[in-house]
A and B are shown apart, each in its own frame.
Chain A
Amino acid sequence: MWSYFANPHKFLRLSDWLAPTFYAVGTLCIAYGLWQGLWVVPKDEYQGGDIMRVMFIHVPAAWLAMASYSALAVASFIWFVWRHELADIAAKSIAPLGAVWTAICLATGSIWGKPTWGTWWQWNDARMMSVLFLFFLFLGYMALRASMDTRQKAARAGAILAMVGAINVPLIKFSVDMVESIHQGASVITADGPKMAAVYLTPLLVSAIGHSLFFGGLVMTSMRTEIRERRIARLRAASLEGA
Chain B
Amino acid sequence: MSGAPLLAAFRQSLGEAWAGGAGALLPLGFLGGTAVLVPLGIGTDAATLKAVGPVIIWFALALESLVTLERIFQADAEDGTLDLWLQAGAPVSALAAAKTLAHWLSAGLPLALFSPVLALMFQAEASPALLVNAGLYALGSLAFFFWGGVGAALSATVRRGGLLISLIALPLYVPTAVFGALAMSGGPGSTGAPMFLAASTLFACAVAPYAMSAALRLAAD
Which residues in window 183-221 of B have CB below 8 A to A?
A: 187-189, 193, 196, 200, 203, 207-208, 211, 214-215, 218, 221
* Interface size range on B against A: 20 to 34
- A-B contacts at CB below 8 angstroms, number: 83
The reply to whether B171 and A161 form a contact with Cβ atoms under 8 Å apart is no
Closest CB of chain B to A22's CB: distance in Å? 30
Task: Say which residue of B150, B158, B161, B167 sits within 8 Å of A136 (CB atoms).
Answer: B167
| Contact, CB under 8 Å: B175 / A174 | yes
Q: Are A178 and B207 in contact (CB under 8 A)?
A: no
The reply to whether A167 and B207 contact each other, CB–CB distance below 8 Å, is yes
| Given A156-B218, A160-B154, A175-B175 contact (CB < 8 Å) | yes
Main DSSP-derived SS at the A contact region: helix
Interface of chain B, main secondary structure: helix
Contact of B179 among A139, A147, A168, A175 (CB under 8 A): A175
The residue in A165, A171, A182 that gathers the most chain B C-beta atoms within 10 A of its C-beta is: A171
B188 partner, pick from A133, A160, A182, beta carbons under 8 A:
A182
Chain A residues within an 8 Å CB radius of B179? 175, 178
Q: Give A151 to B13 CA distance when docked, in angstroms.
A: 31
Closest to B211 in A: A164
Asked whether B154 lies within 8 Å of A144 as measured between CB atoms, the reply is: yes
Cα–Cα, bound, A171→B158 (Å):
28
Q: Do residues A164 and B172 form an inter-chain contact, with CB atoms below 8 A? A: yes
**Are B174 and A172 neighbours in the complex by a CB distance under 8 Å?**
yes
Sorting the interface of chain A by its residue count into under 10, 10 to 19, 20 to 34 or 35 or more gives 20 to 34
Query: Among the listed B155, B200, B211, B218, which residue makes an inter-chain contact with A147, where contact means beta carbons less than 8 Å apart?
Result: B155
In the assembled complex, the CB of A159 is this many whole angstroms from the nearest CB of chain B, namely 9
B203 to chain A, nearest CB (A): 7
A167 to B175, CA, bound (A): 12
Does B35 lie at the interface of the complex (its beta carbon under 8 Å from any beta carbon of A)? no
Docked Cα-Cα span, A175 to B208, in Å, equals: 19
Asked whether, in the complex, the Cβ of A161 is within 8 Å of the Cβ of B168, the reply is: yes
**Nearest residue, chain A, Cβ from B175:** A175
Partner among B164, B200, B203, B221 whose Cβ is within 8 Å of the Cβ of A143: B164
A143 to B165, CA, bound (A): 10
The residues of A that contact B221 with a CB separation of less than 8 Å are 153, 156
A153-208, CB < 8 A from B: 153, 156-157, 160-161, 163-165, 167-168, 171-172, 174-176, 178-179, 181-182
Say if the beta carbon of B182 comes within 8 Å of chain A.
yes
B212 to A, closest residue via Cβ: A160
Whether B175 and A160, one on each chain, are in contact in the complex, defined by CB atoms closer than 8 angstroms, is no
Whether, in the assembled complex, B170 has its beta carbon less than 8 Å from a beta carbon of chain A, the answer is yes
In the complex where A160-B218, A161-B154, A171-B200 touch, is A179 in contact with B171 (Cβ < 8 A)? Answer: no
Separation of A175 and B180 alpha carbons in the complex (Å)? 10
B residues near A (Cβ < 8 Å) are 150, 154-155, 157-158, 161, 164, 167-168, 170-172, 174-175, 178-179, 182, 187-189, 193, 196, 200, 203, 207-208, 211, 214-215, 218, 221
Chain A interface (Cβ < 8 Å from any Cβ of B) = 133, 136-137, 139-140, 143-144, 147-149, 153, 156-157, 160-161, 163-165, 167-168, 171-172, 174-176, 178-179, 181-182
Known: A164-B208, A179-B182. 12 other contacts (CB 8 A): A140-B167, A144-B155, A148-B158, A156-B218, A156-B221, A157-B215, A157-B218, A160-B154, A161-B168, A165-B172, A175-B196, A178-B182
